[in-house]
């Protein structure tokens, strides 16, 4: 594998096809080896949300993490290099998502998007919540009324709009 201590020059993709092909191969290897996303994240020594997003083509991994993930999944040197490239982000093609889980997030934003915008702007002013300086966590908790609940935390840095 590539020397994980040598910093690489950052390279950026201009089209998502290569990372999508790598994501397909990585998920196939994950399935074949019966690994969890947490096990892959543990090998990468980064958060499970960040590593999952990276393997699915949405983030670049540091060299050491890219080497560890590729080794665990049995991927080649080209995969190590590609895992380190800055991707063309965005994993949902145009139109309304058809996958039920992704659709529910779309539905949540359709219902609560304007509410979130109004509350963020009222509390912070004109600006955005960063998806780059960002943390994501997913937890399964017991529902007091029976069953389970999903607690999803989106933790992004607020970036004010600056007039110029």
Q: How many residues does the chain have?
A: 164
Choose the catalytic residue: 28, 45, 71, 107.
107
CA atoms within 13 A on the CB side of 39: 11
Q: Contact at 8 Å (CB) between 72 and 37?
A: no
**141 Cβ contact list (under 8 Å, min separation 6):** 148, 149, 151
The CA angle 104-110-116, to the nearest 5 degrees, is: 110
Burial category of 80 from C-beta neighbours within 10 Å (exposed 0-12, middle 13-18, buried 19 and up):
buried
Q: Is 107 a catalytic residue?
A: yes
Q: Is 122 a catalytic residue?
A: no
Choose the catalytic residue: 104, 145, 148, 149.
104
Q: Is 104 a catalytic residue?
A: yes
Choose the catalytic residue: 130, 145, 148, 149.
130
Rounded CA-CA distance 91/114 in Å is 22
Residues catalogued as catalytic: 104, 107, 130
């Amino acid at each position: 594998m590539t020397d994980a201590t040598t910093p690489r020059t950052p390279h950026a993709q201009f089209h998502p096809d290569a990372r999508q092909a790598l994501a397909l191969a990585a998920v196939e290897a994950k399935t074949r080896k019966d690994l969890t996303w947490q096990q892959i994240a543990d090998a990468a020594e980064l958060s499970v949300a960040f590593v999952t997003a990276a393997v699915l083509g949405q983030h670049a991994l540091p060299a050491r993490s890219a080497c560890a993930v590729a080794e665990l999944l049995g991927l080649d040197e080209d995969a190590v290099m590609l895992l380190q490239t800055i991707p063309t982000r965005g994993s949902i093609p145009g139109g309304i998502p058809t996958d039920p889980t992704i659709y529910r997030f779309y539905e949540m934003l359709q219902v609560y998007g304007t509410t979130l915008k109004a509350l963020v702007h009222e509390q912070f002013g004109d600006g955005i919540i960063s998806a780059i300086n960002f943390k994501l966590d997913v937890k399964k908790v017991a529902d007091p009324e029976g069953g389970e609940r999903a607690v999803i935390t989106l933790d992004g840095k607020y970036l004010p709009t600056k007039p110029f």
